[in-house]
Structure 1
Amino acid sequence: MKAYLDEIALRIKDMEPVEAISFLAEQFAGQITFSTSFGWEDQVVTDMIFANDLPVKVFTLETGRLFPETYYVWNRTLENYQQPIHAYYPDAAALEEMVTKKGPSSFYESVENRKECCHIRKIVPLKRALRGNKCWVTGIRSEQSLNRTDMSNLEWDEQNQLIKFHPIFDWSLAEVKAYIKKNNIVYNTLHDKGFPSIGCAPCTRAVQDGEDFRAGRWWWEDQSKKECGLHATK
């Protein structure tokens, strides 16, 4: 697998993001997908895919706890591109059991409970969304958190057994904003209110000056536990 991954990495090394996504869409025809949570970065990649009519399936995880502003961006994106964004929901029985036993806010009580909630609302639906695919495109950027600086723009995802590609991995936030402004792309207004990273409403707050990029995610926990497992690197 490493040799195959190295070969692909070499092929796309000097390509612009749209060209690289297009190339991968040819290599993995019908088996390439992009996940969006409607943040800055994901809106950029969504535009690259939809505006260029690239054959990449776009999906989102509908956790049931999203911000109203996120739903607004979702609707506006559908209106602007007239292309489908596939929604994946948590398993109803598993969600009902968890909330019945522990209540609607159990994730505040322990890391174990929070990971359980993320597992039911995100990880399991993600597995369904990725099933049958060989390449997963994301909006990850290297500067978003410390553990992501050790990643590369093309990697093997052992957990999900597929290739992951991050087309704007080396972009700065300034480049992301410039692309959005230039192309008049709708974005989540929470970004203008101190929310650099936007997830579920109960688990996301604004970031204060000087705080880490992801300080607003699960802020009641230790910094070392700030990933939900969607992009686990080990």
Structure 2
Amino acid sequence: MSTDHPSITPELAAKIERLDTLLDSIAARHTRVKLASSLAAEDMLLTHAILSRGVAIGVFSLNTGRLHAETLGMIDRVRERYGYEIEQFHPQQDAIDEYVAQNGLNAFYESIDLRKRCCEIRKVEPLNRALSDVSAWVTGQRREQSVTRAELHEEEHDGARNIAKFNPLADWTEVDVWAYLQAFDVPVNPLHARGYPSIGCEPCTRAIRPGEDSRAGRWWWESRDTKECGLHITTIPIAVSTESASA
């Protein structure tokens, strides 16, 4: 992939080369592997890196039933740009109906337990189904995003599902991400231009204020150290060297 663009510094060019090498290595090591895409900036970067080069990594998204219209629209934009149909996984309707009947549609505002139960129904259970036939998955997580991700490793073991987990953008900065997106004209969620660096379900996401970290708009009514939904909390770090990534 050409890195001859004004926004790409030599340092970023090296990160892009490593990213491409790592994605190729992941696909070579695992016959079944998927990218879990939130359809936000980091995952669109990875989607481009995978689909534009024909890397054998599938892409899926969790359609929680409460996403912004702009987020859902990204599925069409991926189809138009890359000719690829992102696989969508939906929550079980009976579990949603039971939660709403017992607690109310927006009960997640009332307590962390009710919020995590909603995330479990709308995100974690569908994710488990999405990953039931793979030996590895890929995410767009970065260390810089929040305090809960400060110790993020490039490769981990997902103990809950007993599969490998890769975070290829772990050491990328927000500046790196947007320089890449600009250089390769990657489609991006229009909510980013409205102050949403991190995008989840509509009622649980707001635009951030100046000086806030990129995930401050997620579950903004909670403290900083509880802002995960259960998708990324069961991992064991694995040290990965540059040599092993290119093997």
TM-score w.r.t. structure 2 length?
A: 0.86
SS at the partner of 2:128? helix
For 1:1-234, list aligned pairs within 5 A.
16-29=18-31, 31-233=32-234
| C-alpha deviation, 1:214, in angstroms | 1.4
| Structure 1 ranges of 4+ moved more than 4 A | none
Q: 1:40 and 1:14 mapped to 2: Cα distance? A: 15
Q: 2:16 and 2:136 mapped to 1: Cα distance? A: 19
Between 1:194-203 and 1:19-28, the stretch displaced more is: 19-28
| C-alpha deviation, 1:15, in angstroms | 6.1
Contact 2:66 2:203 in 1 (8 A): yes
SS at the partner of 2:60? strand
Q: 2:56 and 2:39 mapped to 1: Cα distance? A: 19
- Aligned CA distance change for structure 1 residues 185 and 14 (closer, same or farther; 3 Å): closer
SS at the partner of 2:137? strand
| C-alpha deviation, 1:147, in angstroms | 2.2
Deviations 1:36-66 (A, max 9, x none): 0111100000001100111111110000000
Q: 2:76 and 2:16 mapped to 1: Cα distance? A: 34
Q: 2:173 and 2:213 mapped to 1: Cα distance? A: 15
SS at the partner of 2:178? helix
RMSD: 1.6
| C-alpha deviation, 1:233, in angstroms | 4.3
Q: 1:228 and 1:88 mapped to 2: Cα distance? A: 16
- Aligned CA distance change for structure 1 residues 41 and 125 (closer, same or farther; 3 Å): same
SS at the partner of 1:59? strand
Q: 2:186 and 2:23 mapped to 1: Cα distance? A: 19
Tell me which residue corresponds to 1:9: none
| C-alpha deviation, 1:14, in angstroms | 11
Name the aligned partner's letter for residue 35 of structure 1: A
Name the aligned partner's letter for residue 63 of structure 1: T
Aligned length: 221
Name the aligned partner's letter for residue 53 of structure 1: G
Deviations 1:161-191 (A, max 9, x none): 1111111211111111111111111101211
Name the aligned partner's letter for residue 23 of structure 1: S
SS at the partner of 2:156? strand
Contact 2:33 2:57 in 1 (8 A): yes
SS at the partner of 1:44? helix
Name the aligned partner's letter for residue 138 of structure 1: T
Which residues of structure 2 form unaligned runs of 5+? 1-14, 236-247
